[in-house]
Structure 1
């Protein structure tokens, strides 16, 4: 029976209202893409921004030759492989320099140390227990310590600690943690039963756990679908958080991502501590993907205020389902979700349907209006892709190799050797007159804890002094959809005041109160005006 005119009208009205609702939920926003280099010679599986605006990247050593040669005819010892498996990318010159890495860095982890060295740990096979150190200079290369770890670490997570050491947690069949550097040659390796409790022997859905330093010096650790607050000094669980309401796994290989939301400091105290976990793959997806059945990725995020006496997860729905996505904090305190696929899981050949559009999450908006879909790339970034925030506010995107070798043809998703830059909408040219530029302090200024810091900046357009904030970003180590050590601080400060001429202003802020809130090391300092950040400057917290 044909519908009446009235029924058609109501159907059309309902369709329009549904469309309008969804348009309000996830409006298309901005952002732009550019290819920086068509090939860097390797597929960037791991990446770390260094305090001299270079990015060290590496892949693995056991798949054969890469597409970039080692310099001066060098070859890896005891092999016929004369190609590089690590490179250093210079942002300013847009060039790469090949590096010599000896042991297998596949699925390893790392931390930028307070002195600016990248200390990188673990990997596969001959790299299981290796510690590698990279200090950047024009002729520097990797240095390796063959038995620097007590246990084999493959798919582990590292985090810098307030005492300047790093903790290395978990890994495949490694239900423990250890530290680097060691306090002594006999330093033990404490067990961590939480990693046993969250381990599925058939899937191992607790690899690359999400780890964040809580402002009291303890660690928030999330694995699979559960989380604890952990006192690593006394090997004691301080608090057990509720399981995520949907019970779905979020850790590798059901790879979601997570961030510690920006820490806002007022009168020397962090107001609230929240964690956001987004995406992943449902239970059974790993087994199904190995059978050629690619389940749809999760489209949910869980947000929890871990500083509450009785914290509970609040679930939100993303506009795009995503597994193997990267979550990056932006200088204006928004969260970028980028890379990944909408079906399958992490692993060789196990992902399908790339998600080309990033999404921005705005934590301070109301539930239901926090997500904005951004303009898409044209390059799939699937398994083994990376994303790193640069000092100028762009996001460096590289990698994507879902095969156990380099495959450039006759495959669904060819190995990707290119580097792209994603420019968030705050870099649009129509915002240039609102964009601050920091004049003082100068780069590499050393700053102490709980001190007054005077910042002088210029803005060419009209300034709203009440809409100025100052943020500090710890540059993270990125691999496998998680940025280790990622941390954004919104500093306590007054209203910006004009001091010289029509375009020069100053704002006085208080630096972080302690190493529990901001471990010593290199940070990017930004002035943000109307949600538009300045280019960052490097400062040293000490």
Structure 2
């Protein structure tokens, strides 16, 4: 090879490397989108699926009048605003009805109680200490309890506990936790120094902490870039985890997202407990965005085995950087990353470059092939967007309002009032013959901890009995890129699937053994065949 040929060859290699470095992400591989309603009248900042297949959604009450009216005579107290700021969406009829909120519910939190009632806490201004209950029924409305909380809770996180109460952790300038309902009228909050230690006084970066109940009964709490295992009953830190590599913040306003990866139960035990945290905005992104500079969002995910003796973060790179995105557990155990922007941070007017393509992550796939880019939406879903899993396996997506009022014109990203659904690739019509359908148990069946449960299902096409599993998912409260109380259980079935007739099968499973693994309440039960889930069936564990 001559000297000049060598130079040309090196130039070609250099150019090829540049092309590879700047190549677009993997081509989209699946999923489809559909607009359900062009407008629900409000922007869905908070969202909760109920066990009657209705979804409660709400925004803030001081956005100004919404585009859906309250029934006559139900104007807000001391206000001329007679529009609704909460609606109930009926999945079956694809319709909505307005609900009445008296106090400001902005940037609040909540969870589904064991009886199926949504109990929601905190908010802004007169809503700081309010507790609100919503019972699933055809004509029910919000019931509000003034001073139901001891401390003001704004940007807090809630989680259902094994005893059926909610723990409410943190909030803006609130470095403690409390419970609801109270055990007594004199019950006080408990200090949590970890929230002080992770608080940046200039930006905070520890709001809406990521909280998960793990099978030993303790709470995994992640805030900013650090995590602890916390015994809430003794107010003690059990262990401190290493900081996530890179030291970048992952909580509001550097808003990433997090999930507790599927809990696989074998002989009544969960061997591996693993948390995954993805995306967010780098240090300084919030301040830079205020000054007109929009930093690229983080493109990394960290996984940590909470249960390991010497836990370490395992880092992976997403195909698309994402801030203010959502992470949802799908019935087949995959993780959906959806919504968000690729630059800026959370906050009014502070995000840029919407990420229209969802990504599906396979936790058990080989490293390097876990992320699969999906087909894009046409609707930017940036700050204050939401997503929840529906019983039929679709993902309901709404919201997006990066403004402090409803703004529809002369802005980059108008307030979004539409509601749409993302259908993962397992709902593709070409797979219908492989999709199970549950016959038993019937919806709203009660199951008991540690007891056997025979599940009967049908599949119209050929079945691989070795590729059948049963999962249970708790319906989560979604807001600000975090799904509170979200967990997926893979039930112990011991390869017990049997054919009981043409296209009919049974699989015998064992219900979760305790409230530490599955807090009492409603769950969606799915039969999964070849990673294709059945429509879910509501069950109640007690």
TM-score by length of 1: 0.97
> What is the deviation of 1:4?
4.9
What is aligned with 2:168? 168
| Cα separation, 2, equivalents of 1:436 and 1:279 | 34
Matches within 5 A, 1:29-68: 29-68=29-68
SS at match of 2:16: helix
The answer to which of 489-498 and 424-433 deviates more is 489-498
Q: Deviations over 1:168-220 (max 9, x none)?
A: 00000000000000000001111000000000000010000000001011100
> What is the deviation of 1:136?
1.7
What is aligned with 1:190? 190
1:349 aligns with 2:349: yes
What is aligned with 1:75? 75
What is aligned with 1:531? 531
Q: Deviations over 1:80-121 (max 9, x none)?
A: 111000000000000000000110000000010000000000
Return closer, same or farther for 1:13/1:246 CA change in 2, 3 Å cut-off. closer
What is aligned with 1:286? 286
What is aligned with 1:415? 415
Return closer, same or farther for 1:10/1:441 CA change in 2, 3 Å cut-off. farther
> What is the deviation of 1:449?
0.6
| Cα separation, 2, equivalents of 1:516 and 1:363 | 23
| Cα separation, 2, equivalents of 1:20 and 1:247 | 24
> What is the deviation of 1:494?
2.9
8 Å CA contact 1:49–1:55 kept in 2: the answer is: yes
What is aligned with 1:387? 387
| Cα separation, 1, equivalents of 2:4 and 2:395 | 52
8 Å CA contact 2:500–2:506 kept in 1: the answer is: no
| Cα separation, 2, equivalents of 1:416 and 1:35 | 12
> What is the deviation of 1:67?
0.4
What is aligned with 1:370? 370
8 Å CA contact 1:522–1:538 kept in 2: the answer is: yes
CA RMSD in angstroms, aligned pairs only: 1.8
| Cα separation, 1, equivalents of 2:13 and 2:97 | 59
| Cα separation, 2, equivalents of 1:8 and 1:464 | 52
> What is the deviation of 1:76?
1.4
SS at match of 1:493: coil
Matches within 5 A, 1:88-237: 88-237=88-237
What is aligned with 1:243? 243
| Cα separation, 1, equivalents of 2:120 and 2:318 | 33
SS at match of 1:133: strand
> What is the deviation of 1:501?
2.6
Task: Extract unaligned runs of 5+ from structure 2.
Answer: none
8 Å CA contact 1:468–1:496 kept in 2: the answer is: no
What is aligned with 1:323? 323
> What is the deviation of 1:6?
9.2
8 Å CA contact 2:468–2:497 kept in 1: the answer is: no
Return closer, same or farther for 1:105/1:3 CA change in 2, 3 Å cut-off. farther
> What is the deviation of 1:469?
0.3
| Cα separation, 2, equivalents of 1:424 and 1:16 | 34
Matches within 5 A, 1:301-316: 301-316=301-316
8 Å CA contact 1:26–1:369 kept in 2: the answer is: no
SS at match of 1:308: coil
| Cα separation, 1, equivalents of 2:8 and 2:432 | 51
Q: Deviations over 1:315-347 (max 9, x none)?
A: 100000000010000000000000000000000
| Cα separation, 1, equivalents of 2:7 and 2:203 | 54
The answer to which of 518-527 and 70-79 deviates more is 70-79
8 Å CA contact 1:387–1:397 kept in 2: the answer is: yes
Return closer, same or farther for 1:94/1:38 CA change in 2, 3 Å cut-off. same
> What is the deviation of 1:366?
1.9
Q: Deviations over 1:245-269 (max 9, x none)?
A: 1100000000000000000000000
Return closer, same or farther for 1:19/1:503 CA change in 2, 3 Å cut-off. farther
> What is the deviation of 1:12?
6.9
| Cα separation, 1, equivalents of 2:384 and 2:332 | 27
8 Å CA contact 2:131–2:144 kept in 1: the answer is: yes
SS at match of 1:287: helix
8 Å CA contact 2:497–2:508 kept in 1: the answer is: no
8 Å CA contact 1:26–1:371 kept in 2: the answer is: no
| Cα separation, 1, equivalents of 2:254 and 2:443 | 40
1:492 aligns with 2:492: yes
TM-score by length of 2: 0.97
What is aligned with 2:503? 503
| Cα separation, 1, equivalents of 2:197 and 2:6 | 60
| Cα separation, 1, equivalents of 2:94 and 2:294 | 38
| Cα separation, 1, equivalents of 2:79 and 2:313 | 51
8 Å CA contact 1:449–1:513 kept in 2: the answer is: yes
Task: Extract unaligned runs of 5+ from structure 1.
Answer: none
SS at match of 1:432: helix
| Cα separation, 1, equivalents of 2:342 and 2:525 | 35
| Cα separation, 2, equivalents of 1:528 and 1:13 | 47
What is aligned with 1:11? 12
**How many residues are treated as equivalent by the alignment?**
540
> What is the deviation of 1:500?
3.3
What is aligned with 1:457? 457
SS at match of 2:196: helix
> What is the deviation of 1:138?
1.4
| Cα separation, 2, equivalents of 1:260 and 1:26 | 26
What is aligned with 1:471? 471
